[in-house]
A and B are shown apart, each in its own frame.
With several copies, the nearest count.
Chain A
């Protein structure tokens, strides 16, 4: 790489690092985006101006097409963000796979150079790039489909005997072929072998996701995110391009850390997520003692809230599904106007992706100073007059504390049950994503408000003479 290339690569790397660094505080975060955009522009321009680039038309067209698809993709509703993320991982994986394939056949094309160019090191990197890229491609597509709840993609995990054997087998064959290629990269059968590896990777991506439940997709997405990063790193090794390596490494670490955070917050291991077939329809537990569900009227709930000094709202996936965040804001305004202190208890894995609740509530202009981490709010719960559980279920299920039988055993939860009174909003008596009953709802001090979160909340707000700004 010429000097300018080297320098721009260093500059872009530094900018990317700052972009992520500034995400440590909402106040500086937007600066991070600017840094990221600048870094990316530097990288693109520095590459484009290289002398060997001749077909500018092609590049312009492809970039233009990218904008055509990218802009609408950035306007999706926030509830669709998980799918969008998965989709973009698919694109990332595809790009890595295709570039890898192209490079390989380029070198294979000139038998003269092939031997020189395709060193064992570079060949291994190529294989890694293609396997990671293509499995991320199909895997992320599947994940996106499950999150989008596409009809012909089953939500619940699909398992069959010997499944893991098959999956591992497919991957093993791909790797074995890879080793063969590394040993003799220029062999007559090399081209087919390479394509076979690509194909097997594509298949493996699908097989990998089939046995995983829809609600585990966020974790899977983060893992695929890490893979996409590693694919970029591998590409960097192949093209001897350090910027690809650094950017890929940054992306990889982010995927790794987020998936670790999620697994911790669910008290589950990677293997359990990937092979646990979590979220299969469970036998309804506690079928024995049937405690009855006590219902509360909207009027009663409104009074209860109005008379309390402090209220903690615990949002969950339900709030996201119902798009109820704006109604939540109105309730928040109405109550604060009446001198009630309202806080939001945010569980690290509430909703369907990390930080899901924060974004939704921020969208509704709720100040982030009112959003409290699980660990900070739990000590306050006993002094809380009313805990309003809004479409949350597993993250407030006390069974997680003691019931070794349940899949969520050991998962840290928000102690809604410790509040003086609990109001819970959900549509039915159905369980949450973990598929297990939640005794919180039938606790003595719990009152249910059945119905869609948005509907229930707007009724509630009406009781306060429809306060709020909107």
Chain B
């Protein structure tokens, strides 16, 4: 049970931080923000790697591989397009 407690704690605290940080993001950058959070939420990659790489039945590992592919796509495209957009913003 304490396990659940830690999780809840981490979740609540992280949400506090998220709301605090996002509320201060520059309005100019809302579009890049969306793609950046895309990439970050692809953290599901961690779960996918375990499912794909561990010694599981084939079907399971196939599911994992698809998931891993999907997450990786998000990571790559998310970070790259964010940087591409941010490069465009110049003060003068």
> Is there a contact between chains A and B in the complex with CB atoms less than 8 Å apart?
yes
Most buried by A among B14, B28, B44, B51: B44
Contacts of A3 in B (CB 8 A): 1, 4-5
Given contacts A85-B34, A225-B37, whether A23 and B7 have CB atoms under 8 Å apart is no
A354, closest chain B residue (CB) = B30
Given contacts A70-B74, A233-B11, A354-B34, whether A242 and B6 have CB atoms under 8 Å apart is yes
Contact code string A1-41 (vs B, CB < 8 Å = 1, else 0):
11101110110111011011101111101101100110110
Q: A: which residues have CB within 8 A of B?
A: 1-3, 5-7, 9-10, 12-14, 16-17, 19-21, 23-27, 29-30, 32-33, 36-37, 39-40, 43-44, 47-48, 50, 52-56, 58-59, 61-63, 65-67, 69-71, 73-76, 78, 81, 84-85, 88-89, 91-92, 94-96, 98-99, 101-103, 105-106, 109, 121, 221-222, 225, 228-229, 231-233, 235-237, 239-258, 261, 346, 348, 353-356, 358-359, 362-363, 365, 367-369, 371, 373
Contact A92 B44, beta carbon cutoff 8 Å: yes
Min CB distance B18 to A, Å, is 3
Contact code string B1-17 (vs A, CB < 8 Å = 1, else 0):
11111111111111111
Given contacts A59-B53, A102-B60, whether A246 and B13 have CB atoms under 8 Å apart is yes
Contact B76 A88, beta carbon cutoff 8 Å: no
Given contacts A95-B44, A99-B63, whether A88 and B73 have CB atoms under 8 Å apart is yes
Given contacts A237-B7, A253-B19, A354-B31, whether A85 and B38 have CB atoms under 8 Å apart is yes
A2, closest chain B residue (CB) = B1
Contacts of A356 in B (CB 8 A): 31
Contact A10 B27, beta carbon cutoff 8 Å: no
CA distance A239 to B54 in the complex (A): 14
Contact A26 B71, beta carbon cutoff 8 Å: no
Contact B41 A36, beta carbon cutoff 8 Å: no
Contacts of B17 in A (CB 8 A): 17, 249-250
Given contacts A32-B36, A61-B65, whether A43 and B45 have CB atoms under 8 Å apart is yes
CA distance A244 to B49 in the complex (A): 13
Interface secondary structure of B, over-half rule? helix
Min CB distance B31 to A, Å, is 4
CA distance A246 to B88 in the complex (A): 30
Contact B76 A355, beta carbon cutoff 8 Å: no
Apart from A36-B40, A69-B73, A95-B74, 5 more pairs, CB < 8 Å: A21-B21, A36-B36, A48-B53, A74-B78, A250-B21
Contacts of B33 in A (CB 8 A): 20, 23, 254, 258, 355
Give the residue of A6, A7, A353 whose beta carbon is less than 8 angstroms from that of B31.
Answer: A353
Contact A44 B49, beta carbon cutoff 8 Å: yes
Min CB distance B39 to A, Å, is 6
- Chain B count of residues within 8 A CB distance of the other chain: 88
Contact B21 A355, beta carbon cutoff 8 Å: no
Contacts of A362 in B (CB 8 A): 28, 85, 88-90
Contact A1 B5, beta carbon cutoff 8 Å: yes
Most buried by A among B23, B34, B57, B79: B34
Given contacts A102-B60, A250-B40, A362-B90, whether A66 and B76 have CB atoms under 8 Å apart is yes
Min CB distance A213 to B, Å, is 20
Give the residue of A95, A256, A359 whose beta carbon is less than 8 angstroms from that of B67.
Answer: A95
Contact A250 B14, beta carbon cutoff 8 Å: yes
Given contacts A6-B5, A85-B35, whether A244 and B44 have CB atoms under 8 Å apart is yes
Return 19 A-B CB contacts under 8 Å, by A number.
A26-B89, A29-B32, A33-B79, A33-B86, A40-B45, A53-B53, A67-B76, A70-B77, A91-B42, A92-B42, A95-B70, A103-B47, A242-B5, A247-B41, A254-B18, A254-B37, A354-B30, A362-B85, A368-B28
Contact B36 A19, beta carbon cutoff 8 Å: yes
B51, closest chain A residue (CB) = A102
Contact A66 B68, beta carbon cutoff 8 Å: yes
Contact B68 A62, beta carbon cutoff 8 Å: yes
CA distance A54 to B49 in the complex (A): 10
Most buried by A among B5, B8, B15, B77: B77
Min CB distance B36 to A, Å, is 6
CA distance A388 to B88 in the complex (A): 24
Contacts of A244 in B (CB 8 A): 43-44, 46-47
